[in-house]
Amino acid sequence: MYDMILVFAILAVTIALFILDKLRLDVVALLALLALMLTGLVTTQEALAGFSASIVIIIAGLFVVGAGIFQTGVADAMGRSLAKLGRGSEVRLLIFLMLLVAFLSAFMSSTGAVAVLLPVVISLARDARTSPAKLLIPLAFGSLIGGMLTLIGTPPNLVVADELAKLGYEPFGFFSFTPIGLAVLLVGVVYMATAGRRLLRAPARRDKAVVERSQGLTMEELAAVYGLPDNMFRLRVRRGSPLIDQTLAGAAIGKRFDVEVLEVQPWPDDADAPLTVTPVTVETIFSAHDVLSVKGATENVARLCRELDLGIRPAGENRQRLLSHELGMAEMVIRARSQLVGKTLQQVRFRNKYNVNVLAIMRRGKPIHTELRTTPLQFGDTLLVEGTWADIEALGRDRTDLIVIDIPQEMTEQLYTPRNALTAVVIVIVMLLLMTFNIVPAVTAVLMAAVAMVLAGCLRVEDAYRSINWESIVLIAAMLPMATALEKTGGVQFVADGLVDGLGGYGPLALMAGLYLITTFFSQFISNTATTVLVAPIAATTALAMGVQPHPFLMTVAIAASTAFATPISSPVNTLVLTPGGYRFSDYAKVGVPLQILVLIVSLIAIPLLFPF
């Protein structure tokens, strides 16, 4: 009894730390793992078993496969097709958007699917002169529902299938989830296109602000949205510029062009070289690729650039179009649990790391122009960055800390260039066939597909490793021993007996409803995978105690784990659309809770029909 109480105490502290969100989820899971080991509740072998579990390997491999779909432009091509299908009707666009993101999320991570479509949706909203807020929550919810469609759609599905296998039952097949997932998707799309869409209507002033913020179509307009000073420019010294090796005094820029040079930022050859931005003096000598901050009238700066062959980044609206052939802009949002959160640009050496400059920060609708290098970054901050087209494209591919949410027209064609798209599609199809017909074990099929993506050139080895969400991998591997400890100490049986005693008299449907409510509640605050790892053994034990098949109970847990609709922190996809959509915390509950109730009703009707007790 003492051991069981101790496990529940460790679990309670773990859940509390998850909810407080002061530490990364994987760090919390590792702390819980250490607590179990140090207290002797699990052996060293049991504690480390999670890191060799097939489910962990499968999830890591699926991250790589999803990255291959992203890198080759397959997902983006589908998003561009969506623009044609939904043009002219907001409702039709919403419907096609949810169907598309659900389809993508059935075969790749929901976070990856939303990250791919986020800039597309913002662009579509801008072109339609409507608020992105009317489309971004449907995008997030559609991706969560898409996880219900296949075995690999989301980690909770793999967890419940693995639980059945442990009990000696036939595990769920690849398409076992599909009929229920399709029913939920149908209900979700109808709800969002009718009542949900009305609930999404933001106050007129907030809606107008979000629309205005998304109108930047060119680099000049992006600069205008961020309110960059009209007479401030950043110039780059091109390789053939006559300014190279001249001093400020020798070039006589002030005298000849009436432009003041304020500071110079050498463009380092070594990415690890320290970043230096210094005021210029008359003895300052200019070199190729130096970035200059200058102040002057537009026409004077334009003449300076033409005569001395400098690249220019214009800032401000109603200005002559003065675009560099080398430099471009992009708008990027800081991801949840990004390593940038809480740090300054200077501390992370942003310029050296990403090879781009931050021109301005947008925080809660207000631009920040001054002291950028020393301003601590916050989750949800949107950065306007400037750099070469190639560097911006590379930063857009690496979605570890930042996600591109808007790009200027000048960059669209260059950023979205499909590579090896057909090869990636064939690899995914072969993987699905191998898994569907059980030709090889699921873990083998996924690893084959991941390796094939790299060998076929769909993505580089570096991109493959970078695409894996190691936080999720460590979280799952470290939480699996918690379920082992609960089973060893009788904790699972204790909770299962409580459910049977409390709801068993009302029949298995009541127990299903109870499991659904427990799972969906915890999924609003902690990882849906961690929730499933903990609840799945309880659901299985409850079913056995009732003398019924465990399949309907475990299917209920899997579906409920994907209903993280009610809070912006319940899922990374909800957090991703928070700032671009201009949402408040209450918007998610207002739209999400009714959808959770509808999914509960669908589950209680459909699951027993497909998986009888």
Residue 356: CB atoms within 10 A of its CB come to 23
Tokens of 560: 């409920």
Q: In terms of Cα–Cα distance, which of 97, 139, 269, 84 is closest to 575?
A: 139
Quote the Cα angle for 216-368-392, to 5°.
50
For 286-296, b/e burial (b = at least 16 CB within 10 A) is beebbbbbbeb
Tokens of 411: 């960059």
- What whole-number distance in Å separates Cα of residue 219 and Cα of residue 550? 57
Under DSSP, is residue 350 helix (H, G, I), strand (E, B) or coil? helix
HSE toward the beta carbon, residue 530, CA cutoff 13 A = 30
Global model pTM greater than 0.75:
no
Please report the pLDDT score of residue 414 as a whole number: 45
Q: Which residue type does 181 have?
A: G
Q: Which residue has the tokens 């991998």?
A: 473
> Are residues 574 and 192 in contact, defined by beta-carbon separation less than 8 angstroms?
no
Helices 54-71 and 74-86: crossing angle in degrees, nearest 10, is 60
Domain 231-314, CATH among 3.30.70.1450, 3.40.190.10, 3.30.360.10, 3.40.50.20: 3.30.70.1450
- What whole-number distance in Å separates Cα of residue 139 and Cα of residue 148? 15
Rounded (10°) CA dihedral 528, 533, 536, 541: -150
Element (H, E) at 297: none
Please report the pLDDT score of residue 482 as a whole number: 80
Q: What ranges make up the beta strands (E) of 335-412?
A: 357-363, 366-368, 382-388, 402-406
DSSP letter assigned to residue 234? E
Please report the pLDDT score of residue 142 as a whole number: 93
Domain ranges of the chain: 58-207+419-470, 219-226+325-407, 231-314
Please report the pLDDT score of residue 259 as a whole number: 78
Q: Could you tell me how many residues make up the chain?
A: 613
- What whole-number distance in Å separates Cα of residue 560 and Cα of residue 515? 8
Q: Which residue has the tokens 């913002």?
A: 122
Measure Cα distances from 414 to 70, 106, 499 in Å: 15, 28, 57
Tokens of 597: 């109730």
Please report the pLDDT score of residue 283 as a whole number: 80
Please report the pLDDT score of residue 136 as a whole number: 87
Quote the Cα angle for 325-328-333, to 5°.
170
Mean pLDDT by 10 residues, the chain (613 residues): 86 80 80 92 88 80 78 70 68 87 82 69 68 85 92 87 88 90 95 88 45 47 61 81 88 81 67 54 82 76 87 48 50 75 83 73 73 77 74 66 62 50 86 80 87 89 79 77 80 72 80 89 76 86 87 93 80 70 79 93 93 88
- What whole-number distance in Å separates Cα of residue 338 and Cα of residue 331? 16
- What whole-number distance in Å separates Cα of residue 25 and Cα of residue 9? 18
Q: Which CATH superfamily is domain 219-226+325-407 in?
A: Regulator of K+ conductance, C-terminal domain (3.30.70.1450)
Q: Which residue type does 371 have?
A: E
Strands, sheet with 366-368, edge to edge from the N-terminal-most edge strand: 366-368, 357-363, 382-388, 327-334, 402-406
Rg of the chain (C-alpha set): 27
Measure Cα distances from 448 to 326, 454, 461 in Å: 40, 10, 14
Identify the burial level of 438 via C-beta atoms within 10 angstroms of its C-beta, where 0-12 means exposed, 13-18 middle and 19 or more buried: exposed
- What whole-number distance in Å separates Cα of residue 280 and Cα of residue 292? 9
Q: Which residue has the tokens 């857009």?
A: 396
Identify the burial level of 26 via C-beta atoms within 10 angstroms of its C-beta, where 0-12 means exposed, 13-18 middle and 19 or more buried: buried
> Are residues 556 and 562 in contact, defined by beta-carbon separation less than 8 angstroms?
no
Q: Facing residues of 361 across strands?
A: 368, 383
Q: Which residue type does 376 have?
A: P
> Are residues 546 and 507 in contact, defined by beta-carbon separation less than 8 angstroms?
no
* Residue 47: alpha-carbon gap to chain centroid: 29
Under DSSP, is residue 175 helix (H, G, I), strand (E, B) or coil? coil
Tokens of 443: 């873990």
- What whole-number distance in Å separates Cα of residue 553 and Cα of residue 138? 28
* Residue 11: alpha-carbon gap to chain centroid: 27
> Are residues 450 and 431 in contact, defined by beta-carbon separation less than 8 angstroms?
no
Q: In terms of Cα–Cα distance, which of 24, 117, 27, 115 is closest to 63?
A: 115
Under DSSP, is residue 170 helix (H, G, I), strand (E, B) or coil? coil
